[in-house]
């Protein structure tokens, strides 16, 4: 669900002169709408809050090529208030900026008590916890440091603009791209990604192709390293075909001598030239950070495109079966009803079912069935058995995404 003017995210922060800025963004790799308010808790943090707001706006614009800024309905004048605050499905985030001066008269915004609201304090390094308002001390904090991109990414991940569980499968030819693959494995891991790289992730005695298929589904996004002969590898061809068949996200890095795969679109490819690399084939530090940011943005975009496809397909299938009364939440949950019949709650996941999918259903008390739809068919038994057991214990039906067209027939 989007806000007025098609806006997906509203960012508000002080303008550094006593006023405020209100900026709207669309084209983001997200399926829900968001409101973020950066606010100094004392005049001493006014300049810091302004600079962090400017940094955050730049990071948002860099998330994907499709992102652009649009004028909000208030024409940017309604600082501290917004129509987004009255949208029940909009995720609200309050970011108070705190420093060593403290805030003896601090008060949380009135809307903070809503179920769709959260707070993430930004605290200037060196500030004692006794100077942080008591309401904010139990909350996880980010450092209020201008130019700290890692902290901004943590913020965007916490509010749901970037994936909270980013995962990526690296597909490469060992004889030509091992150095780069291992560097990306390490650096993406430091950025909070769960990364599959066959050299480190497949144990002896495992069925190699079966394990690859399980991990491709579990990761959800594939990073292809296109080198000189990678297109000749039967494993890479299999991984490419598998990604297309299961609508996984795809990203490609093409090396200077790499041959582009016809199965990867140009929009999903980043061409690298010799200037990016050291003599031993590692990315230079200056290029590495930019490429990691592009990978993170592309992963978020591909994950959300897949979620948009799955949500639309599930909704259409329900409507075709007569469940025309549908409501959608920002947690990828559809509440559906046929006529005056019972309500059914459907959680949709682009990754195999995990505990957080059950958690997303917890706030609902449907009169009908609770279901989770995910790519479960290729889960390995070590993961699948406990998830199926839990589903039976709490009466949640697990539906594989291959059954989307048929599952509504089993609902009343």
Supply the pLDDT for residue 50. 94
Same domain, 262 and 395: no
**11 and 144 share a domain?**
yes
Which parts of 172-282 fold into alpha helices (H)? Answer: 174-190, 198-201, 208-219, 234-245
Report yes or no on 314 lying in a domain. no
pLDDT at 271: 92
Domain ends where: 159, 193, 208? 159
pLDDT of residue 95: 95
Q: Which long-range contacts (CB under 8 A, 24 or more apart) does 315-321 make?
A: 317/404, 317/405, 317/407, 317/408, 318/346, 318/408, 320/408, 321/408, 321/409, 321/411
- Indicate if 185 and 117 belong to the same structural domain: no
What is the per-residue pLDDT across 360-390, written as a single tens digit (0 to 9) for each? 898 888 899 999 999 887 777 778 899 999 9
Low-confidence ranges of the chain (pLDDT < 50): 201, 205
Q: Any long-range contacts for 401-405 (C-beta under 8 Å, 24+ apart)? A: 401/310, 401/373, 401/374, 401/375, 401/376, 402/377, 403/373, 404/310, 404/313, 404/314, 404/317, 404/373, 405/317
From residue 37, alpha-carbon distances to 9, 12, 105, 144, 215 in Å are 11, 5, 19, 14, 38
Convert 290-315 into a string of H (helix), E (strand) and C (coil): HHHHHHHHHHHHHHHHHHHHHHHHHH
CATH code of the domain covering residue 381: 3.40.1350
- Tokens representing residue 193 in the block: 């990604």
55: left (phi over 0), alpha (psi -120 to 50) or beta: alpha
In this structure, are 9 and 153 located in the same domain?
yes
For residue 312, being part of any structural domain is answered with: no
Same-domain pairing of 106 and 146? yes
DSSP 195: E
207/275 same-domain check: yes
Which of 97, 124, 159 marks a domain boundary? 159
Kindly state whether residues 128 and 227 are assigned to the same domain.
no
Instruction: For residues 9 and 155, state if they share a domain.
Output: yes
Judged by DSSP in three states, 217 sits in helix
Instruction: Report the pLDDT value the prediction gives residue 65, as an integer from 0 to 100.
Output: 67
Per the structure, how many domains does the chain have? 3
Q: Is residue 313 part of a domain?
A: no
DSSP state of 141: -
Alpha-carbon distances of 328 from 32, 88, 166, 265, rounded to whole Å: 10, 11, 23, 31
Domain limits for position 261: 169-305
Q: Does residue 310 lie within any of the structural domains? A: no
pLDDT, tens only, 276-325? 999 998 999 888 988 887 788 778 777 777 887 888 899 999 999 999 99
Report residue 360 as tokens: 């997303």
């Amino acid at each position: 669900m989007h806000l007025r003017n098609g806006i997906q995210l509203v960012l508000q922060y002080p303008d550094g002169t006593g006023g405020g800025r209100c900026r709207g963004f669309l084209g983001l790799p997200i399926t829900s709408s968001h409101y973020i308010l950066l606010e100094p808790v004392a005049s001493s943090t006014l300049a810091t809050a302004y600079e962090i707001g400017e940094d955050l706006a730049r990071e948002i614009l860099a998330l994907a090529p499709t992102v652009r800024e649009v004028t909000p309905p208030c024409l940017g004048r309604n600082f501290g208030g917004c129509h987004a605050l009255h949208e029940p499905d909009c995720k609200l985030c309050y970011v108070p900026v705190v420093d060593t001066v403290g805030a003896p008269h601090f008060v949380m915004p009135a809307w903070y008590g809503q179920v769709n609201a959260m707070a993430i304090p930004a605290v200037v390094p060196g500030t004692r916890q006794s100077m942080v308002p008591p309401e904010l001390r139990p909350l996880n904090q980010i450092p209020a440091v201008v130019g700290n991109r890692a902290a901004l990414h943590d913020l965007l991940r916490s509010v749901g603009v970037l994936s909270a569980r980013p995962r990526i499968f690296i597909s490469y030819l060992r004889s030509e791209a091992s150095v780069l693959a291992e560097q990306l494995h390490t650096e993406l891991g430091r950025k909070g990604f769960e990364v599959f790289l066959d050299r480190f992730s497949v144990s002896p005695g495992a069925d190699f192709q079966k394990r690859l298929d399980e991990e491709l589904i579990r990761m959800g996004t594939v990073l292809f390293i296109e080198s000189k002969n990678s297109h000749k590898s039967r494993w890479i061809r299999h991984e490419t075909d598998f990604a297309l068949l299961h609508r996984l996200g795809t990203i490609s890095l093409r090396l200077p001598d790499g041959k582009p795969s016809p199965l990867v679109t140009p929009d999903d490819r980043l061409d690298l030239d010799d200037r990016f690399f050291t003599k031993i084939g590692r990315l230079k530090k200056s290029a590495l950070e930019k490429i990691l940011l592009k990978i993170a943005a592309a992963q978020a975009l591909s994950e959300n495109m897949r979620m948009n496809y799955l949500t639309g397909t599930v909704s259409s299938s329900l409507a075709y079966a007569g469940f025309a009364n549908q409501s959608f939440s920002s947690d990828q949950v559809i509440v559906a009803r046929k006529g005056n019949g019972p309500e059914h709650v459907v959680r949709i996941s682009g990754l195999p079912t995990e505990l957080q999918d059950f958690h997303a259903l917890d706030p609902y008390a449907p009169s009908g069935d609770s279901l989770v739809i995910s790519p479960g068919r290729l889960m390995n038994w070590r993961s699948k058995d406990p998830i199926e057991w839990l589903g039976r214990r709490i009466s949640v039906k697990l539906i594989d995404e291959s059954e989307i067209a048929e599952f509504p027939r089993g609902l009343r």
